[in-house]
Amino acid sequence: MTDSQALKNNSVSETQKRDALEAALHSNTFSRADQIKSFLKYICEMEIAGRGHELTEYLIGVEALGRPSNYSPGDDSAVRNRAFALRKKLQEFYEHESSDAPIRIELTKGSYCPRFVEHLSNQKPNGNGLSVLQTNEHSGPLTPLLFQIESASLASPETAVEQTATNQKKPWRWFVAGVMLTSFLASLIFFLTFRKTANLQASSLPPIVAEAWGPILTSQSEVLVSVANPPSLVVHKKENSLSYDPSSYSTSKDLGDWVKQNFPLATTDQDLFLSIVTNSTYWGDTFGAMTALKMLVAAGAPVQTFPEKVISIPTLRRKNVILFGSPEYSPAIAHYLEKCPLTVNYLRAVVSRETTEANAISYSIKRDQKFRATEVYGLITVLPSKSSTYDQHRTVIFSGVISAGTQAAAEFFSSPEHLLELRKHLKKEGYDQFPPAYQVVVRAEPEENILLNFRYETHRVLTGVNFN
């Protein structure tokens, strides 16, 4: 905060700090964010005790988020994700629910130690609580003008609604995120795929993780990782469009007006054009793939990474395969889930085929009054690979009704504590080991598509199903 905002950092008493903490913890803003509350309470208690300088990502992960003692911040971004979400929650709390709070809690970017500051009620909230993407919303011009529109004829209706609602609120967020994510993902995949792994062995992973992933993590077995590619539309200004590009189309008046209203670079005196893009990925699908790649690298397993559009189902046979996406836009995942009792359906979320349509068990997306997703579901599907013998090769599919569900599924299957819980459920059914074919439903809580929490919901063991 600046001097003009009349903030005093040294005169806040312990009682005032505890009152500010309790107000946040018992607010409506934090009511359903249990892990975010644990994060906030832990770091504030440490600061109040004079130990704020001791706060580290590892310490928060183990003591506030319940990660195991062998938790590695480099392989698990849970603390960084929760810190991002906490800054957003604090901003929302002080803007909408407690604008007159005399003492505010701040979590400055780059630090895990909170600050308690006095705040005059007639001053605007501090910008330090903004996320990186929000802070950069009004930075210099970026070209070309990009955003993804998943129209009904091209991609999942849910995606169009989800991204449209978000873009209307924060028009620059997904553009900036997309550019940053594309660059970061390309660098990360190159690093993870081609770095030397001779000194990393599967034995360094928790035994429960090695058991669940099975042959996928053996260094002798090549793994094919594929991320689905939902068809998308990219918007260009006329000056950036190629008149001879056969995949370029003029926008309709309604769409053009909407883009110009929500994207500052699309000035009203220019026509807009659309180009079809078939190599895009969704945020959650991408981060789910990152989670799996880290696991594979730690195990020393050789990896091939491809967008789904360049592979065919026959190429997946006799291989260890990991797929990311949804049957709405992934032909391969739609093919594999066709014979499974649980699948992902846009209207019904994760839906069971085990009963009649009228009585089918479904796990549906929940939304708040602003139509933001507050509860979604991910689906893990483990199958013996086609044309392989019993359990020598394996196909693992991570899917979800929105991509945050896909990310939750991948993180669940990489978490020792959650895999131990799953094995307990399997043992109750008489399985001493992970069966060769099963499905797991994961309940997840996102904040504007940023994954916050996830937990086990249910599972199905697949028997008597021929996947060949």
Tens of pLDDT, residue by residue over 331-369, are 999 999 988 989 888 656 677 766 554 445 678 888 888
**Nearest residue to 324 (alpha-carbon basis) of 223, 448, 438:** 223
Preceding omega of 68 cis (within 30 degrees of 0): no
Specify the pTM.
0.63
Nearest CA-CA partner of 251 in 267, 265, 263, 234? 234
pLDDT attached to residue 401: 82
For the stretch 66-116, pLDDT in tens is 888 877 887 777 888 888 889 888 988 998 899 889 999 999 888 899 999
* Helices marked H in 26-172: 34-48, 57-63, 78-92, 132-135, 157-169
- What's the average model confidence in pLDDT over 143-151? 33
- Using CA atoms, how far residue 257 sits from 148, 239, 279, 398, 412, in Å, is 16, 17, 26, 37, 42
Contact 327, 343 (CB under 8 A): yes
Span 252-289, pLDDT tens digits: 777 777 777 777 665 555 677 777 787 888 888 999 99
**Confidence band of 226 (pLDDT split at 50, 70, 90):** very high
pLDDT in tens, 38-78: 999 999 999 999 999 999 999 998 898 888 887 788 777 78
Helix axes 403-412, 283-299, angle to 10 degrees: 20
pLDDT above 70 (res 152): no
The SS3 of residue 431 is coil
Q: What value does the mean pLDDT take over residues 416-424?
A: 92
Packing angle between helix 78-92 and helix 34-48, nearest 10 degrees? 90
- DSSP run (H or E) holding 262: helix 253-262
Condensed to tens digits (0 to 9), the pLDDT of residues 357-407 reads: 444 567 888 888 878 888 899 999 999 875 444 457 889 999 998 889 999
